[in-house]
Amino acid sequence: KNQIPPFDVFCYLAGSVVYGGRVTDEFDRRRLLRIIERFYCPETLKEDYSYAGDDTYKAPNLDLNFSGLLSYINALPDFDDPRVFGMHPNTNRALMYVQANQLVDMLVAIEPQYRMMISLGASSDSDAACMTIINDITAKLPHFIETGYGPQARHITFENALAKISDKLESKYHAYSVFFSLLKQELRAYNELLELIHTTCNDLRRALVGETVVSEILEETQRTLLMHEMPRVWKKKSYPSTKSLLAWIADNLIRIAFFKEWTRLIVTYVEDKASSPLPPIFNIGAFYYPKGLFSAILQSSARSIALPIDQLKFTYQVLDNNEECQMLQSSTSTNDIANGITIDGIYIDGAQWDNERHQIIDCTSQQRTHRLPPLLCKLIPKSIENVDSTNVYECPVYLTALRAVSASEAAKHLVGTITIPCSETESFWTTRSIAGILEVNE
């Protein structure tokens, strides 16, 4: 009784031995260990200690016998309060939202025709309704991303600009070239997706008017379009997304506009009408391969400051001040990329940014997801110590709110990590399950 229990041994036994083989994601494992530490810590031995801050989840008395401990367990609520595990009360709402969506999806799978009747309203002609959807999609989405300003404009072509940009950048081209390779990769990925969408729509249009046979793929495409969902054949080619069909189309238009503007920026830079061939702010949410942007920043910075990649580390500064943001954008546009690259498009799931305190804080409303201000990403030597890392949270960033659909896809959906100032300890935010995401469902 007078000895302090080996809490570290208990934590290892529960977290690494009992649950260790079941949790494969690095950040899920970190979260699990932090939650277990809430139950295996010296504070639990104190009188009136509560796991959730109220009388409902007070720690059991140390003098309880076996029957008393059973009575204590039976008196606990059937449904656990999220606060017991260090989570925000909003977690219950998020869980109910997911469960409601799963129930709706199950009902749709059982009675797909019922969903079609609802979406069609008074119209009973599903072919006509599908034709309307197809025409709307093909009218909104271009066949490919039009680079540069087009043949009718008084500008050089995008291809000519890429050919001449090495002479324009001179010694800096070696550092900038990784961004141009990334741009070409993104253009190729989106153009292949756009080509598939238009090809599928044209094939389905011909099948609806009786010019060709309706294949199994076209039948599935028609069924999902009528349910306002993304066809399976598009999902295989698309970037991961949880949006509905119309929201996904709108999201594509935003992404296409970003890369179209970037190609125009390269043209105007070669023509001496722009100060930099790179966007002042990179919308990371627009990238087909967001990891590629971080890789490009890492490689270009390593070339710019002439240091090996393994000797560099990322630092992040949240630009919550408009004047500061504009000043840094100007400096990174006119000088060297070693000054940093500004990115935008990250949302914080489970917390929000406080502009006055310059740190993330607990959600003050029932809204779970909040947009993070632009980030200045900069590479510095690993030998440089952080000035103050006590209130910094290493935040994982995922593609969507689903984070990792399965253990095998965890690495695919994880974009990387960012470090951001926080109002509490790292353990507090880890148990809160705070993460960055690149896509939100409005």
Residue 269 is predicted with a pLDDT of 94
Closest C-alpha among 297, 298, 299, 292 to residue 186: 292
More confident residue, 308 or 389: 308
Q: In angstroms, rounded to a whole number, what is the distance separating the alpha carbons of residues 415 and 115?
A: 35
pLDDT at 123: 41
- Dihedral of CA 105/107/112/118: which sign? negative
For residue 312, what are the β-bridge partners? 381
More confident residue, 244 or 411: 244
Q: Which residues contact 65 (CB under 8 A, 6 or more apart)?
A: none
Rounded alpha-carbon distances, angstroms, from residue 267 to 149, 153, 160, 224: 8, 12, 8, 40
Instruction: Say how many CA atoms lie within 13 Å of 260 toward its Cβ.
Output: 13
Helix axis angle, 173-208 to 158-169, nearest 10°: 170
Q: What does the pLDDT read at residue 133?
A: 94
| CATH 3.40.630.10 describes domain 280-442 | no
Q: How far apart are CA 148 and CA 164, in angstroms?
A: 14
Q: What percent of the chain is modeled with pLDDT above 90? A: 46
Q: Which residues contact 254 (CB under 8 A, 6 or more apart)?
A: 283, 286
Secondary-structure percent of the chain, ordered helix, strand, coil, rounded to 5? 50, 10, 35
Q: What percent of the chain has pLDDT over 70?
A: 89
Mean pLDDT estimate for the chain: 86
Supply the DSSP string of 229-296, one letter for each residue.
Answer: ---HHHHHHSPP----HHHHHHHHHHHHHHHHHHHHHHHHHHTTSSS-SS-SSEEGGG-SSHHHHHHH
Residue type, 91: T
- 96-110, 120-134, 418-432: which has the minimum mean pLDDT? 120-134
Q: What is the four-CA torsion angle of 15, 21, 27, 33, rounded to 10 degrees?
A: 0
What does the alpha-carbon distance between residue 267 and residue 277 come to, in Å, rounded to a whole number?
8
Return the SS3 of 101: helix
What are the backbone angles phi and psi of residue 5, rounded to the nearest 5°? -60, 150
Is it true that domain 125-277 has CATH number 1.20.1270?
yes
* Segment 178-210, tens digit of pLDDT: 999 999 999 999 999 999 999 999 999 999 888
pLDDT recorded at residue 300: 93
Distance CA 42, CA 36 (A): 13
Give residue-wise pLDDT tens across range 67-105: 998 998 898 888 888 888 888 888 888 888 888 888 887
**Rounded mean pLDDT, 277-290:** 96
Q: Which residue has the higher pLDDT, 24 or 415?
A: 415
- Whole-angstrom distance, CA of residue 325 vs CA of residue 322: 5
In whole angstroms, what is the distance from residue 89 CA to residue 1 CA?
36
Q: Is the pLDDT of residue 292 over 60?
A: yes
Domains 125-277 and 280-442 equal at CATH topology level: no
What is the reported pLDDT for 385?
A: 72
Domain residue spans of the chain: 7-85, 125-277, 280-442
